[in-house]
Chain A
Amino acid sequence: MTWTWFHRLGSPPYVYRLAGRLTPWFGWSAGVLILAGLVGGLVLAPPDYQQGDGFRIIYVHAPTAWLSLMIYTWMGVAAAVGLIWRIKVSHAVAAACAPVGASFTAVALATGSLFGKPMWGTWWVWTPRLTSELLLLFLYMGYMGLRASFDDTQRADRASAVLAVVGIVNVPIVHYSVVWWNDLHQASSLSLAGKDTIATSMLVPLLVSLLGFTLYFGAIVLVRLRGEILRRERATDWIREALA
């Protein structure tokens, strides 16, 4: 039973239609949650003891940084699946992820700088966390550059997939950099297992924001995915029906 579901996910017409149906759900829930999270963070959360109202940047910095890593992970997994099982739709997913991931990595770096200047006194510092996040941006750009250098979509898919998989090693480096090394960037205040070190009234808008941005990424990728599928498909019958 589960295998038919999995096989259907490899069918371009099925995914095209499914993506179209799911997009509004992801999109609207993302909109509501992001709005709630940002309003909560800007207006309702109490100011931080040390950082005052400046800490409110975290409600955009943390979600964008989270997106930069999560998107690359999805991209790498989709690329690996596409390579190993030769599933075109999977390559389409990876292609759809890259520009979104790159843009949010840039935003994470920029909001991080805007956060760092008042708190640390500098726009940039070469610590493991920031350096590896910058490298992540270059990995995205390299991925997109490699794709663009091939005329044949299939070759582009497979070559860039190899690169995406190789670059996955950077994701745990970015995440654990504040654990492994002494970094100016603070260690995680959120943890899945242990106790959170952040106050609840500050935490709730942050979690709402994180969830909202994640759903937003889903919506964007679903839209892009449909375009990528159309571009890869030569068989016309289902397209004629789907576009009618």
Chain B
Amino acid sequence: MMIQFHSLAQFLAMGKYGAYVWPSYGLTLLVVGLNITWARGLLRQAQLEARRRLAMQAQRA
């Protein structure tokens, strides 16, 4: 296997398809990243709420 492109300019151009290839990769990687932060955010929120609930119950006890 060898690198198919001879220059950065050629790589960015992607034949004449650059305008389609790069947004596709960009969008996919964006959603990949967003899902990571979204999931971790939800878990953190759920953990915070659980801690809050525990604290309230300890207070009442």
Interface of A toward B, CB cutoff 8 Å: 34, 38, 40, 42-47, 52-54, 56-57, 60-61, 64, 99-100, 103-104, 106-107, 110-111, 114-115, 117-118, 201, 216, 220, 223-224, 226-228, 230-231, 233, 236, 239-240, 243
Complex partner residue of B27 from A45, A110, A220, CB under 8 angstroms: A110
Indicate if the CB atoms of B34 and A44 lie closer than 8 Å: no
Given the complex of chains A and B, what is the CA–CA distance between A103 and B39 in angstroms? Answer: 13
Q: How many A-B residue pairs have CB under 8 A?
A: 110
Docked complex: B2-47 residues within 8 A CB-CB of A? 2-5, 11, 14-17, 20-21, 23-25, 27-28, 31-32, 34-36, 38-40, 42-43, 45-47
Given the complex of chains A and B, what is the CA–CA distance between A54 and B11 in angstroms? Answer: 12
For chain A, what secondary structure do more than half of its interface residues adopt (helix, strand, loop), or is it mixed? helix
Given the complex of chains A and B, what is the CA–CA distance between A226 and B35 in angstroms? Answer: 15
Given the complex of chains A and B, what is the CA–CA distance between A118 and B47 in angstroms? Answer: 47
Indicate if the CB atoms of B42 and A227 lie closer than 8 Å: yes
Indicate if the CB atoms of A54 and B14 lie closer than 8 Å: yes
Given the complex of chains A and B, what is the CA–CA distance between A41 and B47 in angstroms? Answer: 39
Indicate if the CB atoms of A47 and B15 lie closer than 8 Å: yes
Indicate if the CB atoms of A239 and B35 lie closer than 8 Å: no
- B2 contacts across to A, CB distance below 8 A: 44
Indicate if the CB atoms of A239 and B4 lie closer than 8 Å: no
- B11 contacts across to A, CB distance below 8 A: 42-43
A-B contact pairs, 5 of them (CB 8 A): A45-B1, A52-B17, A53-B21, A230-B43, A239-B54
